[in-house]
Amino acid sequence: MSRAIKDAETRGKLPPLDQLRERRLALGLTQEALAVRLRKLGMDINRSALSHWEHGRYPMPVNDPASRQILAEALEVSVKELLEIAGFEVEDSHINEIAFRAMQLDDKDQADILQVIRWIQDGKRSEADLPQILDEIDLS
């Protein structure tokens, strides 16, 4: 059993990739139907790739703003909810606010902030690292 699944069970929450599957099923969509929906919105995707996301073999492409918007629209969720589905939910609302505000930045800055949030979630970095990073990136 992966660490992510163990941690999720401990917190009483589904692992993020299970949340993707649950959201798809709640919409009454098969993997193929969701892939068709994503293609109609402009994403080059197939059923196999969706299966890989749901089983944790590949991450969802949430670092790309266009992909993030398409995914949110196809899953009928907000971008913030999509980030939570993709595993960016953290206990601290300050970090959630940073992730939400990061959506307004250019691609590189977004990717940098989302990576730092992942490191904090994984215990590789501390929330104390955020001020230094935020000094380098204008979030206003």
- Whether residue 68 sits in one domain with residue 120: no
Q: Based on the fold, state whether residues 1 and 70 are members of the same structural domain.
A: yes
Query: Residue 55 sits in a domain of what CATH number?
Result: 1.10.260
In the chain, pLDDT over 90 holds for what percent of residues? 26
Residue 93 pLDDT level (bands cut at 50, 70, 90):
low
Alpha helices in 76-128, H assignment, sequence order:
79-85, 93-102, 107-121
Assess whether 2 and 66 both reside in one domain: yes
Q: Is residue 71 part of a domain?
A: yes
Stretch 13-30: mean pLDDT: 80
Q: Check whether residue 21 and residue 59 sit in a common domain.
A: yes
Rounded to 10 deg, the angle between the 31-40 and 47-54 helix axes is 120
How many folded domains does the chain comprise? 2
- Is position 24 within any domain? yes
| Residue pLDDT, tens place only, 67-84 | 888 999 999 988 778 877
SS3 19: helix
* 4 and 72 housed in the same domain: yes
Q: What is the dihedral of CA 41, 47, 48, 50, to 10 degrees?
A: 60
How many residues in the chain? 140
**Whether 70 and 15 share a structural domain:** yes
- Which of 26, 43, 78 terminates a domain? The answer is 78
Among 78, 106, 124, residue at a domain's last position: 78
**What whole-number distance in Å separates Cα of residue 23 and Cα of residue 104?**
25
Tell me whether residue 85 is in a domain.
no
Domain boundary among 78, 105, 123: 78
As a dihedral over the C-alpha atoms of residue 27, residue 34, residue 117, residue 108, rounded to 10 degrees, the angle is -140
- Whether residue 100 sits in one domain with residue 61: no
| Boundaries of domain holding 24 | 1-78
For residues 42-63, give the mean pLDDT.
Answer: 87
**Model pLDDT, residue 139:** 53
pTM, two decimal places: 0.58
The candidate with the shortest Cα–Cα distance to 84, out of 6, 3, 8, is 8
Q: Is 108's pLDDT higher than 90? A: no
Residue 83 domain-assigned (yes or no): no
* 66 shares its domain with 41: yes
